[in-house]
């Protein structure tokens, strides 16, 4: 992923899977206090072609796909391969401080089941739903894709063809919460077929919609 300075950001294995102590239980890191991480197999690297230099950045969370958000901090968002966490790096802060720990954060997947628009106390993934609380989701994100229309991240969930989670950040990643947005594949399919039929009728072109 290229940034506005022409630097290349990419996922990379830079250490053994055992995470540093500051990622684990007992750490003072705000994200580790809520969601301690013991292992991660892939971290982050950045190549600056002007300086011809590679900088390695140790993330507590696993990295897989990465995508820049459209915010003042040039936040770089990550999903991990089969990971239950959504991670981010404040690249503006990292450029200013070169402090990887201070510049990164992550969250578990918390569903806003009580519908009040903010993160509250939540029950575990295997616990029954409590209408007064939020709920942790035991699932994995395939990617994190920012939407420029608002200050949020749209993160499709892996192996969930009828469901998407929208991670609402409001530019405050540590308070990230999740909302469910249901999408009917049947409805989408009918819409595509209708559009294809209109295209074929008006232009004579055949659109391959199955």
Q: Mapped to the 3 state alphabet, what secondary structure does 12-36 carry?
A: ECCCCCECCHHHCCCCCCHHHHHCC
Q: Mean pLDDT throughout 86-107?
A: 95
Q: Is 118 inside any structural domain?
A: no
CA distance 129 to 207: 44
Q: Is the pLDDT of residue 167 over 90?
A: no
53 pLDDT band, cuts 50/70/90, is: very high
Q: Is 116 inside any structural domain?
A: no
How many domains are contained in the chain? 1
Q: CB-side exposure of 41: number of CA atoms within 13 Å?
A: 6
pLDDT, residue 150, reads 54
Each residue of 99-158: pLDDT tens digit? 999 999 998 888 888 888 888 888 988 899 898 998 888 877 777 776 666 544 444 444
Q: Is 132 inside any structural domain?
A: no
Would the pTM count as exceeding 0.75?
no
pLDDT, residue 146, reads 65
CA distance 34 to 134: 15
Q: Is 125 inside any structural domain?
A: no
The domain in which residue 188 lies consists of 8-108+139-203
CA distance 208 to 210: 6
Sign of the torsion formed by the C-alpha atoms of 129, 133, 138 and 139 = positive
């Amino acid at each position: 992923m290229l940034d506005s300075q022409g630097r290349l950001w990419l996922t990379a294995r830079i250490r053994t899977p055992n995470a540093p102590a500051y990622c684990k239980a007992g750490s003072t890191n705000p994200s580790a206090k809520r969601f301690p991480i013991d292992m991660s197999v892939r971290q982050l690297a950045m190549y600056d072609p002007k300086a011809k230099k590679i900088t390695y950045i140790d993330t507590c969370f696993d990295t897989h796909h990465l995508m820049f958000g459209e915010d003042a901090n040039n936040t770089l968002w990550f999903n991990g391969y089969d990971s239950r966490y959504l991670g981010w790096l404040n690249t503006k802060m990292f450029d200013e401080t070169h402090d990887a720990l201070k510049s990164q954060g992550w969250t578990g997947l918390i569903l806003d089941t009580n519908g009040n628009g903010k993160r509250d106390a939540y029950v575990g993934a295997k616990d029954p739903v409590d209408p007064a609380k939020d709920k942790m989701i035991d699932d994995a994100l395939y990617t994190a894709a920012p939407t420029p229309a608002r200050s949020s991240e749209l993160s499709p969930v892996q192996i969930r063809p009828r469901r998407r989670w929208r991670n609402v950040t409001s530019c405050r990643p540590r308070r990230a919460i999740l909302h469910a947005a249901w999408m009917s594949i049947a409805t989408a399919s009918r819409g595509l077929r209708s559009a294809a039929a209109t295209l074929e009728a008006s232009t004579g072109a055949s659109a391959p919609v199955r």
